[in-house]
Amino acid sequence: MAPVPKDPPEAERRTRALGIWERAYRMQMRGDLDGAARLYKESIALYPTAEAHTFLGWTYSFQGKLDDAISECERAIAVDPEFGNPYNDIGVYLIEKKELDQAIPWLEKAKNAVRYEPRHFPFLNLGRIYAAKGMLNRAMEEFRGALRIAPGDQTAARALDQLKVMMN
């Protein structure tokens, strides 16, 4: 979340917004996307955070509203450019829109973000792009990068194994 404000009323708004964001997340995980979107917007109205914008975007993506999802992620970046999740998410939404080349710079930014978990996701997503483009060596580099960060990640390990078989 954003740094804790020094002004008590602002700190109180932030705390209340975080509570609303947590309720929205739980609602989203239960599958109530409309309810989650409503609560994320309520949280943002009270105290905008990169997380609330990013998760509202994620909710929109589940609803098939990829352009709205991208817009929310751009708002998240405006609030906190060091938060890496919205960069990765924009890349994913562009992949879903079949705009692979446009996704690459967003995923590269996610790889270098100061604050980002799970850090190996942009490597996985770049690997998917490069594999789809037939750039197999480049894809392997990305999957290896994912495994350096998350050695137990089965998705990256399987993708790397599949690429090795394809190249032999």
For residue 168, name the pLDDT band (cuts at 50, 70, 90): confident
Kindly state whether residue 29 falls inside one of the protein's structural domains: yes
pLDDT, tens digit (0-9, with 9 covering 90-100), for 66-120: 999 999 999 999 999 999 999 999 999 999 999 999 999 999 999 999 999 899 9
% residues pLDDT > 70 (the chain): 95
Q: Do 5 and 38 share a domain, yes or no? A: yes
Domain that holds residue 151: 118-168
Kindly state whether residue 112 falls inside one of the protein's structural domains: no
Report the CATH number that the domain containing residue 51 is assigned in CATH. Answer: 1.25.40.10
Kindly state whether residue 111 falls inside one of the protein's structural domains: no
pLDDT value for 167:
87
Decide if 55 contacts 24 (C-beta within 8 A).
yes
Q: Do 7 and 48 share a domain, yes or no? A: yes
Dist CA 77 CA 35 (whole Å): 24
Per the structure, the count of domains in the chain is 2
Q: Do 137 and 96 share a domain, yes or no? A: no
